[in-house]
Each structure stands twice: as structure tokens, then as C-alpha cells.
Amino acid sequence: MGWDALGQWGDDATRIEPLTGGVANEVWRVRVDGRLAVGRLGTRSDADLAWETELVQHLDREGLSVPVPIPTTDGRLFAEGLVVMSWVEGGPPETEADWRRVAATLRKLHQLTEDWPQRPGWRSSTELLHAETGTKVDLGAMPREGVARCRAAWSRLSGRPTCVVHGDSNNPGNVRVTPDRVALIDWDEAHVDVPDLDLVLPHNAAGLDDDAYDVAAQASAAWEAAVCWDDEYAIRRLAEVRPV
């Protein structure tokens, strides 16, 4: 178990150094078959990892730049909670023009996944209007007044179409920009939800009008509060959600 599973990618597969940014998982730069890659070790179920690896393969086939899973020597896309993915070059978005390119990439993601099934065990923000739990979300652990505020924010999304959302797209560390492409990495928080949650970007790069931005920003803050509860970041995000 653990990182011993890396041997299933070949006798020469090795860890090089840990990468920052992982909270729920251990993420390392690795070398597999002589090339750089990323290994991510966590506690996701096989069904969860199958959903994620199938998604990124689909996006890759459709021309989106994403890290794709590297199979084990016997052809599996993950093993014992470990996924090994291709290394993606580039740096974080820095300018307003960079973020506009990110917004365009996210809209392509949303268009390509309009009928995608929900990630196993997850619930969308609007499903949490009537449910208490879904993967890392446990509304029962939050203050009831906070839950009411989150649900009031999510209710403004009711009835809208859903698709796959990246789930952490406003984090510069999850984007790799080069002059000729934008890549989205770290799909650990991806799930099916209302696309507005992905479009609260620096500089309002998605070009939302004032009302649409307010709806999206409130719903996004509520989501991040619920999914991270109750660390310091979640408490700060909940404070951004207006009282009912």
C-alpha cells in the first residue's frame, strides 16, 4: 500500500520530490519510464478515480489541455489510491489577458460535459438544498445559521443547467499557461454542478454582469465554506456569504 504502489508503473518508477498544494492527497513529482510525471496518492474510492480518469481522457481527446493518466504496466489507470499523470509545463496566469484565456478554457470544459454523470458520492450545490452530505460536505457539522446562508446562496442557482466544473479554477496554482495554450490541472475537486461556480475569476475575466457575478460569488463562497469546513479558510469564506 501507499507509495509502494508506484512500482506498478515499472521497476524504474521513482519519487523525486513533493509538490506543494496537496491537502487531501500526497502529491509528488515522479519519474516513470524516463519521463517526468505527477503522482497523487489519496483515499478516493476506485469508482471516484475511475470517474476522474475517464473525464480527463475525454477532455484530452476533445482538445483540452489536461494531465492525462499514465497506465500501470498492466494497463490500469490507477492502483491502490495512486494515480500517475503526465507532467504539464507552464506557469500560473498573471495578467487579465491570461485569466480571460482561462475563462474561455473553462467555458469549453462546460460545453464538453453538459451530460456528464455526477462524480460518485458527490452532490451539486443545488442538491445540497435538500441533502445534508456529499463527499467532503457535511452540513450537519456547520452552524445551522451558516447552513441557511449557504442554502440561500445556492438557491439562486436553482433550475440552471449543470456540467462538470473544475472546482478550484480560481486558484492560479491549478492553471498552467504558455503562449499557445491554457491547461487545467488538479481535478480532485471536479464534479457536476452549475458552471457559474467556475467563473468567479480574478478581474472578472469571465465577463459576468454585476448580478450574475454576485450570484456566482456568493454561491462559490458558500461552496468553499461547506467543502472545507471548519478550517480557517472555510470560516473566512462563510463570512463572505450574506446573512439570510
Question: What are the beta bridge partners of residue 79?
Answer: 82
Q: What is the pTM of this model?
A: 0.94
| Structural domains of the chain, ranges and CATH numbers in brackets | 2-86 (3.30.200.20), 96-239 (3.90.1200.10)
pLDDT tens string, the chain, 244 residues long: the values are 699 999 999 999 999 999 975 567 899 999 999 999 999 999 999 999 999 999 999 999 999 999 999 999 999 999 999 999 999 999 999 999 999 999 999 999 999 999 999 999 999 999 999 999 998 899 999 999 999 999 999 999 999 999 999 999 999 999 999 999 999 999 999 999 999 999 999 999 999 999 999 999 999 999 999 999 989 999 999 999 999 8
